Chains A and B, each alone.
Chain A
């Protein structure tokens, strides 16, 4: 395992967030592979981290917080891809209290939470329930104003 776990984590996080704005919606397969990789990188990071006691106090805590924030986000991203809101686990806090100020700036703002809440209100999907075929439309961005 020659790749640096921290770099892998950073790249994975940015890929996960950029995939949210991809055309066609979140791809479950890709999100799953990214989250599995991040888990491996996190485990390896935790395994090797005790060997480096406070050598770089400024960068490590932020990566730690990034990982904590990611751990909360990743299951939500996967669940969001599921469209079946009944099966989601009980809500977890997005961030641990008191650490909000230290979260790196490449993590999303509160806007993500708004999108998630808006998605929660849509009816559960089943065949014939959610997807409707509509005629061709002008291209819209994915930051849609919630309908209700």
Chain B
């Protein structure tokens, strides 16, 4: 598979404003819409053009469809804490009618947004002029039926629900259930179950807070509902374990149904073992048979029927293992990389440093490293595979580990649900790549 540059969104400026840093990327269920959230609390939605006027080798482009301010910074006076407006996650709801719905969350509050189109407006009111002023009743001599006339497309985003005050800790995940009625939100110690229609109540379904906080040994890092089984969800922990829970078993799912844990390789033990084993993302495969986890150095694929170890492990950037001390000092070791599946679960993708991102083809045991950069951004330019030289003699075109730019990190990536179109977020730019259609 070869990948070509398609588009890049965002400022070219090297001086990045903090508010513009992209914090989440998500395609909707058809792939027609692509949403991004940023540190400034804004959501930008791109829409794929539907007209097929492009030549066959070039898929339709994504253009801005709607932009809105989802969350604002808030201040909690009781705790003397500022609540960041950064959008941590966006999740789309499956489309039920003409409007689109998505959930967006910051550290404390989840909001349901309705995005709807208006392309007609009424004209010919009996009592009002076109500018809205009321007519003199004596001047009305006939009755007319107002008609809807076309207007320029207007996309409106309105907050339909605000789910607040249910999380003491910082929300890290939201996940819509396959029942299309409920969703979960997870913070460091608790997971809550919500009904999409009800904002003043949520059920706590997981609580791992110890009675004495000094005995705390692990936190929840990510959670997701199973794509088909509405009773099943998983949550990952900072200790590198994943717990699967069945909501039919009991109201409070503190006791897991399955515990996925791989014994640690003693030869890899280091100071930083605990930090790098923390799972930063967990994603079910589309077919619901597997799940993928991302820790600092690797991606692991688990068969849901086997808890003892993953069925596949892919090293994302093993050359960093000897650099963990420096990565700890510059804080990079705390970076939370996400991962994603392609539409048919045959390929997985995740980000790395130096604006590199990695793809692993499961069946063929092939992997590739690609780079998102302005230098490779000519239309349809094929991306050249990159290689990092871990040590020893550096070949031509290879980049040495010490030359990697650790400020350029790709934490968020998304794959179109059906096609080979990917969205890759660098610090403040969104790159869209597509596979080369021969």
The residue on B at minimum CB distance from A3 is B325
* Residues A32 and B219 in contact, CB atoms below 8 Å apart: yes
Map CB proximity to B onto A1-18 as digits: 1 under 8 Å, 0 otherwise: 111010010010001000
* Residues B76 and A132 in contact, CB atoms below 8 Å apart: yes
* Residues A137 and B74 in contact, CB atoms below 8 Å apart: yes
Choice from A23, A30, A40, A87 contacting B82 with Cβ under 8 Å:
A23
Which of A49-57, A103-111, A115-123 touches B?
A115-123
* Residues A23 and B84 in contact, CB atoms below 8 Å apart: yes
Collect the chain B residues with CB atoms within 8 Å of residue A97's CB. Answer: none
Interface of B is mostly: loop
CB distance from A74 to the nearest CB of B (A): 9
* Residues B214 and A78 in contact, CB atoms below 8 Å apart: yes
A60 to B74, CA, bound (A): 44
* Residues B213 and A1 in contact, CB atoms below 8 Å apart: no
* Residues B78 and A130 in contact, CB atoms below 8 Å apart: yes
> Is A135's beta carbon under 8 Å from chain B?
yes
- Decide: A2 near B214, CB < 8 A? Known: A82-B209, A139-B73: no
Which of B6-14, B121-129, B269-277, B411-419 touches A?
B269-277
Map CB proximity to B onto A32-48 as digits: 1 under 8 Å, 0 otherwise: 11001100110010000
* Residues B165 and A128 in contact, CB atoms below 8 Å apart: yes
Map CB proximity to A onto B169-184 as digits: 1 under 8 Å, 0 otherwise: 1100000000000000
* Residues A87 and B212 in contact, CB atoms below 8 Å apart: yes
The residue on A at minimum CB distance from B324 is A3
* Residues B74 and A134 in contact, CB atoms below 8 Å apart: yes
Collect the chain B residues with CB atoms within 8 Å of residue A139's CB. Answer: 73, 82
> Is A93's beta carbon under 8 Å from chain B?
no
Interface of A is mostly: loop
- Decide: A136 near B188, CB < 8 A? Known: A32-B216, A131-B165: no
The residue on A at minimum CB distance from B166 is A127
> Is B162's beta carbon under 8 Å from chain A?
yes
The residue on B at minimum CB distance from A145 is B80
CB distance from B170 to the nearest CB of A (A): 6
> Is B102's beta carbon under 8 Å from chain A?
no
A37 to B76, CA, bound (A): 30
CB distance from B6 to the nearest CB of A (A): 34
> Is B168's beta carbon under 8 Å from chain A?
yes
> Is B354's beta carbon under 8 Å from chain A?
no
- Decide: A79 near B214, CB < 8 A? Known: A36-B274, A136-B72: yes
> Is B429's beta carbon under 8 Å from chain A?
no
> Is A27's beta carbon under 8 Å from chain B?
yes
Collect the chain B residues with CB atoms within 8 Å of residue A101's CB. Answer: none
Map CB proximity to A onto B79-100 as digits: 1 under 8 Å, 0 otherwise: 1111110100000000000000
* Residues A27 and B164 in contact, CB atoms below 8 Å apart: no
Choice from B81, B211, B269, B274 contacting A87 with Cβ under 8 Å:
B211
* Residues A130 and B213 in contact, CB atoms below 8 Å apart: no
- Decide: A131 near B189, CB < 8 A? Known: A25-B81, A78-B213, A89-B214: no
A32 to B216, CA, bound (A): 8
* Residues A125 and B168 in contact, CB atoms below 8 Å apart: yes
A82 to B336, CA, bound (A): 22
The residue on A at minimum CB distance from B106 is A24
* Residues B73 and A37 in contact, CB atoms below 8 Å apart: no
Collect the chain A residues with CB atoms within 8 Å of residue B164's CB. Answer: 131, 133
List which B156-204 residues lie within 8 A (CB) of chain A.
162, 164-170, 188-189, 202
Choice from B80, B212, B221, B274 contacting A40 with Cβ under 8 Å:
B274
Choice from A37, A81, A126 contacting B271 with Cβ under 8 Å:
A37
- Decide: A33 near B79, CB < 8 A? Known: A1-B270, A24-B107: no
Between A and B, 16 residue pairs with Cβ closer than 8 Å are: A3-B324, A23-B84, A24-B83, A27-B170, A33-B275, A36-B217, A44-B271, A78-B214, A78-B216, A82-B168, A87-B213, A122-B79, A133-B74, A133-B165, A134-B77, A137-B74
Chain A residues close to B by CB (< 8 Å): 1-3, 5, 8, 11, 15, 23-25, 27-30, 32-33, 36-37, 40-41, 44, 75, 78-79, 81-84, 87-89, 115, 118-119, 122-123, 125-137, 139-140, 142, 144, 147
- Further contacts, 14 of them, CB under 8 A, given A24-B82, A123-B78: A5-B271, A23-B82, A24-B86, A29-B238, A81-B213, A83-B79, A84-B209, A119-B80, A130-B79, A131-B108, A132-B77, A133-B74, A137-B74, A139-B82
